[in-house]
């Protein structure tokens, strides 16, 4: 069996890069602070108990709001990203001859290959 040439590997690398980008969209990107953040503020600013409780609530609300924004952006980008990834793959496949397409699709379907 002949090894895929440099061009085929380039196409595979591009496809994997795009797949990695798409996977990154679904990765956990929680903006949560380290648990010690409020402790540090309390210690460094000598917060009174009511201030500590109020600031803790503010920080928790901010984290929830930011997480909601991340989830909203992720949902809004899911369809356009999938569509763009598919268009790129279709465009790459159109540039390959029949044998190269067959090899590419075989490589993309291999276990652990997330190019598609």
**93 is a domain residue:** yes
**24 is a domain residue:** yes
In tens, the pLDDT along 11-64 reads 566 555 655 655 555 555 555 655 568 999 998 999 999 999 999 999 999 999
Mean of pLDDT values over 64-73: 93
Nearest to 18 by CA among 82, 111, 100, 79: 82
**27 is a domain residue:** yes
Total domain count, the chain? 1
Residue 116 pLDDT exceeds 50: no
**pLDDT band for position 112 (50/70/90)?**
confident
**115 is a domain residue:** no
**116 is a domain residue:** no
**83 is a domain residue:** yes
Residue 74 pLDDT exceeds 80: yes
Distance between CA atoms of 15 and 86, rounded to whole angstroms?
10
The domain containing residue 30 runs over which residues? Answer: 6-109
């Amino acid at each position: 069996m002949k090894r895929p040439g440099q061009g085929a590997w380039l196409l595979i690398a591009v496809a994997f890069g795009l797949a990695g980008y798409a996977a990154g969209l679904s990765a956990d990107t929680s903006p949560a602070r380290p648990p010690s953040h409020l402790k540090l503020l309390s210690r460094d600013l000598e917060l009174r108990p009511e201030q500590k409780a109020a600031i803790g609530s503010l920080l928790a609300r901010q984290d929830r709001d930011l997480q909601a924004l991340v989830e909203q952006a992720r949902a809004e980008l899911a369809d356009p990203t999938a569509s763009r990834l598919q268009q790129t793959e279709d465009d790459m496949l159109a540039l390959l001859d029949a044998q190269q397409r067959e090899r590419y699709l075989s490589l993309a379907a291999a276990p652990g290959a997330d190019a598609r």
